[in-house]
Amino acid sequence: MPNITKKNAQLSRYIKFNQQYNVPLLKSELATAMALNWPDHFNKKDYNGSWQSISLQSASGREDDILANYGVTHYKETALLKKLPYIKSILDSWDCPKEAIRLLALHPGAEIKPHRDRGCNYVNGVCRIHIPIQTNQAVQFKVSDEFLVLEEGTSWYIDFDEIHTIKNNGKSVRVHLVIDCIRNDWTDAFFTAHGYDLASEKQGQQMNEDQTLMVIAALERLDVPAAKQLIEDLRKGR
């Protein structure tokens, strides 16, 4: 049976998938990456201490291009990824389009402050997958009001549109493989196999559509210029 974290995964903040990746192989390839220079994370206002990243796939194909870009149509594998065959095989097993792929390192004593990544969730067509490669028991990973324990070699979907914060209170660096995936039929099937309630999601989308139509009908009865502009905006957003 799949390891389902919530009965209604469509509304949940996270899903733990049932894969268990080879931790010694992951750490062996991590050692190759750790020999390089890692840029500091670009969102400096969102963290204290040392939070660094290096790219395995980026918009430019450079390892130091660690931006999680939006709207970029083509991504390129970096030279580093070509040196990491096991990680490459993991990425290939996710049969969906991928955008930025990074290793992110949160050093001892560092804290990622509470924040939200707007639109970074499955209902908005994206899924950010975390695979912990190296961690420790003193890491605190909080999503909304719930603490998660992300073990080495596991894989997780997390709704990062929720408020989340991470503290590394341990003595070793915490490193995750982070994959930005684009939703497709394969991910729908995979998420559904792990408890994602696709039917409820579609029902909710239909309810939103019905509510929008009711608002448009009410605005049409007003017959004023401002209402007409609102109607146009609503129709564009449907």
Round to whole Å and give the CA distance between 188 and 72: 22
- Residue 141 forms part of a structural domain: yes
Say which CATH number the domain at 46 has: 2.60.120.330
* CA trace torsion 62, 177, 68, 140 (10° rounding): -140
Contact 130, 158 (CB under 8 A): yes
Q: Give domain status of residue 5, yes or no.
A: no
Residue 7 resides in a domain? no
Q: Is the pLDDT of residue 167 over 70?
A: yes
- Rounded to 5°, the CA angle 223-227-229 comes to 125
Which pLDDT score, from 0 to 100, does residue 200 have? 74
118/140 same-domain check: yes
187 & 206 share domain:
no
Task: Work out the number of other CB atoms within 10 angstroms of the CB of residue 191.
Answer: 21
**What are the pLDDT digits (tens) for 59-103?**
999 999 998 866 677 899 999 999 999 999 999 999 999 999 999
Q: Containing H/E element for 219?
A: helix 198-222
Residue 167 and residue 221 share a domain = no
State whether 113 and 135 are in the same domain.
yes
Q: What domain count does the chain have?
A: 2
Mean pLDDT to the nearest integer, 209-231: 65
Tell me: do 100 and 22 sit in the same domain.
yes
User: Are both 203 and 188 inside the same structural domain?
Assistant: no
**3-class state of residue 5 by DSSP:** coil
Instruction: Clarify whether residues 32 and 119 are in a common domain.
Output: yes
Residue 8 lies in a domain: no
Report pLDDT for 10.
Answer: 40
Based on the fold, state whether residues 120 and 207 are members of the same structural domain.
Answer: no
Confidence of residue 117 (pLDDT cuts 50, 70, 90): very high
Q: Are residues 82 and 160 in the same domain?
A: yes
The DSSP bridge partners found for residue 76 are 58
Average pLDDT over residues 218-236: 67
Based on the domain organization, do 175 and 216 belong to the same domain?
no
| Top-confidence residue, 74 or 32 | 32
Closest CA to 183 of 119, 106, 112, 118: 119
Residues 49 and 98 in one domain: yes
2 assigned to some structural domain: no
Tell whether 55 and 158 lie within a shared domain.
yes
- Which range, of 60-74, 117-131, 166-180, averages the lowest pLDDT? 60-74
Above 50 in pLDDT, residue 5? no
pLDDT, the chain, mean:
87
Better-predicted residue by pLDDT, 234 or 105: 105
Is the pTM here over 0.75, yes or no?
Answer: yes
Q: What is the pLDDT of residue 56?
A: 98
Query: What's residue 73's pLDDT?
Result: 79
Q: Tell me, what's the pLDDT at 3?
A: 37
Residue 234 has pLDDT above 90, yes or no: no
- Note the pLDDT of residue 203: 63
* Residue 3 maps to a domain: no
Is 219 contained in some domain?
yes
pLDDT in the model for residue 61: 95
Structural domain range at position 225: 198-237
- Position 90 in a domain: yes
pLDDT at 155 over 80: yes
Residue listed under structure tokens 């239909």: 206
